[in-house]
Structure 1
Amino acid sequence: MKTTMKLLKERCREEGIELWELALKDELAIGDRSEEEIWDRLQRTLDVMRNSAKAALETEVRSVTGMTGGNAKSMHDYFLKGESILGEIPSIAMAMALSTSEINAAMGIIAAAPTAGSSGILPASLMTMAYKYHYSDEELKKALLVASAIGQVIFDNATFAGAEGGCQAETGSAAAMAAAAVVYLRGYDIDIQENAATAAILNILGLVCDPIGGMVEFPCNIRNANGVMNALASADMAMAHVKMVVSFDEAVDALKRVGDSLPERLRETGEGGIAVCPSALKLKAKYIDKED
């Protein structure tokens, strides 16, 4: 049976438990791992996320192709100058999202949550919350379980793959998962968690996947930075009780329909959008095709 947000909410209320507890219960039911092993796996995942979110902040990291890199350090340096229009928290969040994206492009260790192309959003969201509010690892691991439950709904009813649904399916899904996790950390219930995830999908619906040369580098890198802003903004809107007139299940269904409607050239083929701009084609020729 496919997981839906409606079903998750019904089960939480019937059983008198929170969403993170339901996610843990389901993980125990479908696998052969003990609860201790699940918590250990969550800790390892969290450690990888923390490391990748910080690894490129002070040292410039270049991609394997050499085409991209250094953006995380640039953003972090800008944050340290105190010149950001948006301020401290958005700046550090974007820097950490860029960091994980660059570690991925450099073939470093990341947690694909839910994909490698969107891997900067959830770590940056969680590490930003830890930076601002000093949440413990135990609290952050519960937030990861909340994110996993939101991700399961998307996985069962739509897709995470840019090749199937465009970048909306990658960075949109990651932002939805992160937004719900942030709302959980701030002590809000499953209804507000749902609204945050819904807002994150609505904010990015229709975004194409158009990486230069088909490589997960540009514009993936900056879309991770925008993705964490989407997650945090969606969480704030939900916690401010901004109304969502559609449900998360409806938003996920829309994501699937929109993804199915995208032409193939706008689904990770590197044959449309930004990928075929003159500047992008020159970069592809130089760094990927290795032409003089």
Structure 2
Amino acid sequence: MSFKSMEKIVELCLEQDKSFYEIIIEEDINESAITLEESLNKMTQMWKAMIDASDNYDGKLKSKSGLVGGNGLKMLEYLDKKDSYCGSFTTKVIAEALKMGESNACMKRIVAAPTAGSCGVIPAVLISYYQYADISEKDIIQALYVAGGIGQVIAERAFVSGAAGGCQAEVGVASAMASGALVFLKNGTVEQICHATAMTLKNLLGLVCDPVAGLVEVPCVKRNVIGAVNALSCADMALAGIESQVPVDQVIDAMKEIGENMDTMYKETACGGCGITPRAVEIENELRSTNI
């Protein structure tokens, strides 16, 4: 896909009286020179890979470092108690985000959405909604195209890697993609999709990438939870009619500006933030002593 702005997608939706999903899938077909069936099959495979990753989660598995593993299971057990502040649906989303992030750290098969470090956000909200709501797999596949279109614009205008722009470019972008997809699933307008995307990304502007011991584990996995819950709240705000005062493309540009000016110590180098706390130094020394 080659869209350079969300504004252009909105313009095409209104001019052609088509949904966000329809504009994105048509562009994918034209640019990739594939059939509609081929495009849908590819997206369906990604969705099934997300489902498989969730179904095959092993709560007893730990990452090689020992820093990650088991928290998804703990959250599911907490969910069973039906006593969470967030309620059953959001608690399920939290559990799914943890499960996916831990699976990545444990070298299980996941879908980078848009990156491996942010792989828990989109599956967490879509799998949970699919299981809780009366929607079809077809609806989810269409929502994934919406998420993909949003991610493509952000990648074109800014970046989607922690090394380039900090975690705002990973979890922040994943959160924005998920929020837009959720609005689409509730039949929100294309303008509401844009407002949700803008508000979601704004909330995580400046988020640094500061992995402990240089591993995509701490604080990365739990940040996927924040990205997922942020997506829920902003989708609901947009659906309620709340608008972003700053247009979505300008928010994306702001994210790029922040990322370009962010010190390299906060961009996946493990040289700042949580990565250089006393405990982080202890962990790194412990892992080095065991050749991990």
Work out whether the TM-score is over 0.5: yes
Map 1:4-23 to 2 at 5 A: 4-23=5-24
Tell me what 2:32 maps to.
31
Give the residue type in structure 2 aligned to 1:24.
I
1:35 & 1:289 partners in 2: Cα distance? 53
Tell me what 1:271 maps to.
271
Q: Report Cα offsets for 1:17-45 as digits up to 9, x if no partner.
A: 11101111011111132211111111110
Seen in structure 2, the aligned counterparts of structure 1 residues 291 and 111 have a Cα distance that, compared at 3 Å, is closer
Seen in structure 2, the aligned counterparts of structure 1 residues 288 and 29 have a Cα distance that, compared at 3 Å, is farther
Identical columns (%): 35
Give the 3-state SS of the residue equivalent to 2:118 in structure 1: coil
Quote how far apart the aligned CAs of 1:119 are.
0.5
1:146–1:177 CA contact under 8 A, matched in 2? yes
2:147–2:177 CA contact under 8 A, matched in 1? yes
Give the 3-state SS of the residue equivalent to 1:279 in structure 2: helix
1:92–1:128 CA contact under 8 A, matched in 2? yes
1:4 & 1:288 partners in 2: Cα distance? 45
Tell me what 1:246 maps to.
246
Quote how far apart the aligned CAs of 1:185 are.
0.3
Give the residue type in structure 2 aligned to 1:32.
A
Quote how far apart the aligned CAs of 1:269 are.
0.3
Which is further off, 256-265 or 129-138?
129-138
Give the 3-state SS of the residue equivalent to 2:128 in structure 1: helix
**Are positions 1:117 and 2:120 aligned together?**
no
Quote how far apart the aligned CAs of 1:182 are.
0.4
Tell me what 2:46 maps to.
45
Tell me what 2:229 maps to.
229
Q: Calculate the TM-score normalised by the size of structure 2.
A: 0.96
2:74 & 2:169 partners in 1: Cα distance? 28
Tell me what 1:209 maps to.
209
2:3–2:9 CA contact under 8 A, matched in 1? no
Quote how far apart the aligned CAs of 1:288 are.
5.0
1:48–1:111 CA contact under 8 A, matched in 2? yes
User: Where in structure 2 are there 5+ consecutive unaligned residues?
Assistant: none
Quote how far apart the aligned CAs of 1:282 are.
1.4
Quote how far apart the aligned CAs of 1:83 are.
2.2
**Are positions 1:137 and 2:133 aligned together?**
no
Seen in structure 2, the aligned counterparts of structure 1 residues 282 and 165 have a Cα distance that, compared at 3 Å, is same
1:175 & 1:240 partners in 2: Cα distance? 19
Tell me what 1:151 maps to.
151
2:49–2:110 CA contact under 8 A, matched in 1? yes
Q: Report Cα offsets for 1:132-185 as digits up to 9, x if no partner.
A: 213211100000000011111101000001001000010010000000000000
Seen in structure 2, the aligned counterparts of structure 1 residues 222 and 140 have a Cα distance that, compared at 3 Å, is same
Quote how far apart the aligned CAs of 1:128 are.
1.6
Q: Report Cα offsets for 1:213-240 as digits up to 9, x if no partner.
A: 1111010010001110000011011111
Give the residue type in structure 1 aligned to 2:224.
N
